[in-house]
A and B are shown apart, each in its own frame.
Chain A
Amino acid sequence: AQTVTQSQPEMSVQEAETVTLSCTYDTSENNYYLFWYKQPPSRQMILVIRQEAYKQQNATENRFSVNFQKAAKSFSLKISDSQLGDTAMYFCAFMKRGRGQNFVFGPGTRLSVLP
């Protein structure tokens, strides 16, 4: 079974600064996907960024980028130029490739961006 660990229950960052959220996972699979989802208070879960395990290049989406270390089973999220709207719970998630495969979520990191 796969597990996902987020070792930082809460973090804070000053507006315009950079912050990195950690995620590690455990799997014996070789083909899988990794995701970061953002859930603002009382709002919808939104996909932030995704990574295919077979791709060595780290994914980037505007201010969001990941550091994917497959051998170390690490998938950290870097948020550059933090904005107040980035305040949210961030969930790291693992999905094995194939039919009927479900997400395994980490416990989440609550990020607060301070003005």
Chain B
Amino acid sequence: DAMVIQNPRYQVTQFGKPVTLSCSQTLNHNVMYWYQQKSSQAPKLLFHYYDKDFNNEADTPDNFQSRRPNTSFCFLDIRSPGLGDAAMYLCATSREGGGVSGYTFGSGTRLTVV
């Protein structure tokens, strides 16, 4: 089945130690998104790629970076995780222009910072 896969499902990292979360998709969608979701809150968009075009949200901290080496893969890099970065990180994809199909979400990576 076509899907969005996030690895790992759970990630524990040390305070200040760089960490990378990964997302892959078999849907051939050209738009990929990274969201941060804290407990009982709505997902908050960090950035998205429209093909290779990177679009950063104005309030996304510089500590968060992203790479998209090809259509299928997208990575979220947190350069120096702080305790406040502990959250669920969701990857999502959509077709060009959005549309009635909406987004397809991955299962998320729950990041713990110790």
Main secondary structure of the interface of B (DSSP, over half): loop
Q: Is the CB of A45 within 8 A of B105?
A: yes
Docked complex Cα distance between A43 and B99 (Å) = 24
Chain B residue nearest to A33 (CB atoms) is B100
Whether the pair A44, B106 counts as a contact (CB closer than 8 A) is yes
**Interface size class for chain B?**
20 to 34
Checking A42, A96, A102, A105 against B42 with a beta-carbon cut-off of 8 angstroms, the contacting residue is: A105
B107 CB–A CB distance under 8 Å = yes
- Distance in angstroms from B51 CB to nearest chain A CB is 10
Do B105 and A44 have beta carbons less than 8 Å apart? yes
A35 within 8 A of B: yes
Q: Which residues of A contact B110 (CB under 8 A)?
A: 42
Q: Determine if A47 and B107 form an interchain contact, defined as CB atoms under 8 angstroms apart.
A: no
Interface check A30, CB cutoff 8 A: no
Known: A45-B90, A89-B40, A108-B42. A99 touches B96 (CB 8 A): yes
Query: Residues of B contacting A47 with CB < 8 Å?
Result: 102-104
CB-CB nearest in chain B for A36: B102
Chain B positions near chain A (C-beta within 8 angstroms): 31, 33, 40-43, 45, 48, 50, 55, 90, 92, 96-108, 110
